[in-house]
Chains A and B, each alone.
Chain A
Amino acid sequence: MKRGLEGPPPEDRPTPAGRRNKQGIRIDPEVEATHEPRRTVISALVAHEPGVLSDVSGLFSRRQFNIESLTVGPTKDEDRARITVVVEEPDPGIDQIKKQLRKLVPVISVRELEPDAMQRELALIKVDADDPAQVSAVADMYDATTVDSSPETATFEITGARQKIEAAIDTFGQFGIREISRTGTTALARGTEETAAAVNATESTATEANHDETYQTANDD
């Protein structure tokens, strides 16, 4: 409760006029002041070894990244698995996700997919089947396949972009939905482009270093 140091007090000191935003970016006309969150798909090629999924999911939870879905499955190479993550974050956050993922030792490569990448999700939807004709009409509308039916229920499988599945769920809602199970999005890049191939560290880091690329929000087709 005593003593201190000598020197001009805070109010007598000059202060610069500049400021940074929450993301540490200097606020000046040339750089954006704020970054709105956007939705995007990140694909990671990882070593197919025990613990890799928990490494990845642990990273997301401990860094408080906002994750929408995460899917994982084998690839044509049995030592490699592909993890597809859909996230919604401002640009600097998306950048951090890519960089932090890349740091995990079992992660081979990380790519943010173009907005037009092929994105699919599978859903199982179990509805009340009091009115079978109507239920089946709706199922046809969404190219849903019947995978199970009983006197009271019908279960459909739907594959497609997230919007389509959401629309189907909405429409099926009129009959009364008993249960839903969704897989989350999996995705591949279009055409000859590789989804997440191993790239030279120097090349990738130089461009990715500072989110210089401009991306758009992913547009599920």
Chain B
Amino acid sequence: MTALTGPLARVRAQVSTRSQRRDLRAALLFISPWAVGFLVFTAWPLLYSAYLSLTDYDVLNDPSFIGLENYRTLLEDDKIALSLRNTIFYTVIQVPAYVLVSLGLAMLLNQAGRAAGFFRTAFYLPNMTPPVAVGVLLLLIFNGQNGLINEVLGFFGIDGPSWTTDPNWVKPAIIVMSLWSVGGSVIILLAALRNVPTELYDAARVDGAGPWQRTWSVTLPMISPALFFVTVVNTIAAFQTFTETYTAFFGSGNSTYSNDAALFFSIYLFQQAFQFLNMGYASAMAWVLFVIIMVITVIQLRVSRRLVYLEGEQR
């Protein structure tokens, strides 16, 4: 007790008085729900999932250790390759489209003055729709024969494709449908646009900058932190997209639509885990997903360091 050294001694030194010790105890009590939850529902699952990924496990029998076999199988599994291709295609198209559309809408709203509040509400409404209902809407509105989208296209003399059954058009339909719920990003970007100091525009105008130049040299740099946030969050979400697509194209009794074109990585993972009960294999898939998302996020962080403008003392 007498000769404590290192970090422990520092902790003791910091909490020497009685009231400080009482505070420490109180603080630990307050954060204890999180601490317990972290150990039980994050730390242990992480370790156990890593272990399971090295086993063959079907829940009914004990896991049997098979080393890196699952990861080797992953490399040869055609459906892994397919689901990864589908997921990457979706992410690469959907995220830029999503960010551009929400930026466009936010800029329009920013010009609307007092009416913006009403339109902001209207744009956000789809975000309240349960994703399973969005999946249903996807099937109905993009229906090839009499769906609303093709009806509208027909009005312009365009013969719309069979969105929900033609493998080439399934993913585009999912992407277009996902744009219906850009409302959340619109609100974030609009808040950022409103934070841009008016003086900067005045200064730019004095310097003779036109509307395009003002957008390019003032608006975009000033809102780049929010743009970056929206991009990163949506990339992570896009890579894990599940519910709308699963609702519309997978599930029990669904023989007509079992559609390889919509097989995203998280859907295949879900099937392996809870339909085929290959818990070991699914755990290996989860780790692959984890690594991919980490890599993408790190790359985005790196790129952002060059592109994202932060005011002087802010971080």
The answer to whether A and B interact is no
Binding site for B on A (CB under 8 A): none
